Amino acid sequence: MPVQRLAIPERLYLPISGVDSLTASIGDRVIGGQQLTNSAPGNSAIWHAPVAGRLVEVVDHPAPHVSGQSVPTLVLEPDGSDEMVDYTALGWSGVSFEELFAVVEAAGIIGMGGAGFPTCLKLSGAGSGMLSTLIINGVECEPEISCDDMLMREQSDKVVAATAKLAALLQVDKAYIAVEDDCPQALSRLAASIQSVKEIAVSAIELVKLPIRYPSGSEKQLIENLLGKQVPKGGFPSDIGVLCLNVATLCAVDDAVTQGIPLMSRIVTVTGDAVAKPQNRRVLFGTAVADLLSSCGGLIAEVDDLVMGGPMMGFALSSPLTPIVKTSNCILVQRAPVLGKRRPIMPCIRCGDCVDVCPAGLLPQQLYWFAKSGEHDKAERHNLFDCIECGACAYVCPSQLPLVHYYRVAKSEIRTQWAQLIKADGARERMQARDERLERREQEAAERRLRKRSQRKISTDNAEPPMSAEVKAAMARAKKLQQAGASETSEKSVLADKSTTPTESARD
């Protein structure tokens, strides 16, 4: 069954917490494809109106984020018209590397595999001619997700053509399209497309069939699987000459280059045993999860959580009104397990099964101890921050320990400590500056005093500084007056003395 477009919902919710400013006002009518927000350069957090309609308001609305908090959200009420911006496109043949960067940024394209890294930044890290390898990631990031599989099945020609064009533009030596071996249809379609497109393609495209081994859809793991090279710690794939794009991201880039269409919708997998009709749907950004679920037949069982993302790395939503955004690849609804059937959490027996599955080469059992006991320095020494939270360790754990949860908590505690440290550093710097300022003032005052004293000393040394005749005369006059005044005041003081001691005289 082909991927169907979801009917336009009554309201679309576009979270705008990361954007700089709105380019349209509340109450305005906007048309499909019209840019709604600005963002900082290179951020790509740009929203385009997915359809024509009216901007109703900005409200606090549940965000598609692990925190489940509400963030300022732009509400768009579609009016049913299909009026759209008149798109202008450069086309692959007309676009230069620098223009590609601008096109991708303006189209609001970010990584659609789940991480949401701005695609223009990936390109900028590359630089024309600096890359040797282009990898198109068709490996589903998690089990149960099939949106990329569907995309490759339905648009294999587009995927292959775009790969060839991009590879030619970036002047890479080699382009790979990586697909897992449980997607036979996607593999055969892509293989056929490569055959048919090869005549026009400049560079060689290799279709790679990978065995299923979670998390091979993760960028760094995929690169290691394909090339046998690791991205350096703290670095980017471009450091080893690789650009890796999710297949949906590639299609978005292709749309932007060949048709000028910005990113306004995506394919979302709706899955789990609690939804009536699990399927893939093309969904406009801003569509509430509730609307998507009801279009899939609704829920047929009680669920603990609405999960956005896959079963391994997804997060529970705080509300069914949470919108689908650019990174929302999957909605997972599983039946709540019967209470007695929940397996108990047992102590860690250090079996080490987690070590064998950790794609980051960590010691999850040790990190668990350190996270649990708050030994943050040891956790960092054991590379806690290299954990990609893929959940493989918790999946295999015979003690059912919620390992990833512990790592998340420990990471956030450490980050808070850092922030406090930085804050404390700031306070210390301010204190130091204050002390220095006071000291400087003291010193200046002391210097002033010293200067004055030395000036006075100079003035007393030259007892009679040279004076003009008028000044001398004036001073003489003043002296006279002073003497006269002095005699008056002395009389007064005598009187005053008398008046203040009457009783004494009376006693005499």
Partner 1 sequence: MASGPHSSPYLHGSATVSRVMFTVLVALVPVVAAYFWLWGVSILSQLALAAITALIAEATILVLRKLPVRVALLDGSALVTALLLALCLPPSAPPWVVVIGVLFAIVVAKHLYGGLGYNLFNPAMAGYLVVLIAFPAQLTLWPVPDMYDIGAEAGVVVDSTTMATPLDRLRTGRLQGKPAAEAMAASPLLGIFPNGVTTILALAWTAGGLLLLATRTIHWRIPLALLLSLGLFAGICGWLNPTDHAGWLFHLFSGGTMAAAFFIATDPVSAATTPRGQIIYAAGIGLLIYLIRGWGGYPDGVAFAVLLMNIAAPLIDYFTIPRAYGE
Binding site for partner 1 (CB under 8 A): 143-144, 220-221, 224, 230-235, 304-305, 307, 309, 311-316, 332, 334, 342-353, 355-356, 359-363, 365-366, 381-383, 386, 389, 391, 394-402, 404-405, 408
| Nearer to partner 1 (CB atom), residue 160 or residue 362 | 362
CB-CB contact of 212 with 181 (8 Å): yes
> Of 81 and 373, which CB lies nearer to partner 1 in the complex structure?
373
| Cβ 287 to partner 1 shortest distance, Å | 22
Whether the Cβ atoms of residue 214 and residue 391 lie closer than 8 Å to each other: no
Nearer to partner 1, 346 or 446 (CB): 346
Please, is 269 exposed, middle or buried when counting C-beta atoms within 10 Å of its C-beta (0-12, 13-18, 19+)? buried
Cα separation, 56 vs 348, whole angstroms: 53
Name the residue type at position 324. Answer: I
Handedness of CA 269, 273, 274, 275 (dihedral sign): positive
Between 89 and 115, whose beta carbon lies closer to partner 1?
Answer: 115
Least separation in angstroms between CB 350 and partner 1: 5
Give the nearest distance from C-beta 88 to partner 1 in angstroms: 41
CB of 142 to partner 1, least distance (A): 9
Angstrom CA distances, 367 to 396, 409, 415, stand at 16, 12, 16
Least distance in Å: CB of 116 to partner 1? 17
Shortest distance (Å) from residue 312 CB to partner 1: 4
Indicate the residue among 166 and 393 with the shorter CB distance to partner 1: 393
Minimum CB separation from partner 1 for residue 234, in Å?
7
Query: Which single residue is written with the structure tokens 């082909």?
Result: 2
Q: What are phi and psi of 401, to 5 degrees?
A: -75, 135
Contact of 284 with 84, CB cutoff 8 Å: no
User: Tell me, what DSSP letter sits at residue 87?
Assistant: -
Q: Is 172 left (phi over 0), alpha (psi -120 to 50) or beta?
A: beta
Cβ closest to partner 1, residue 232 vs residue 426: 232
- Residue 121 structure tokens: 């930044």
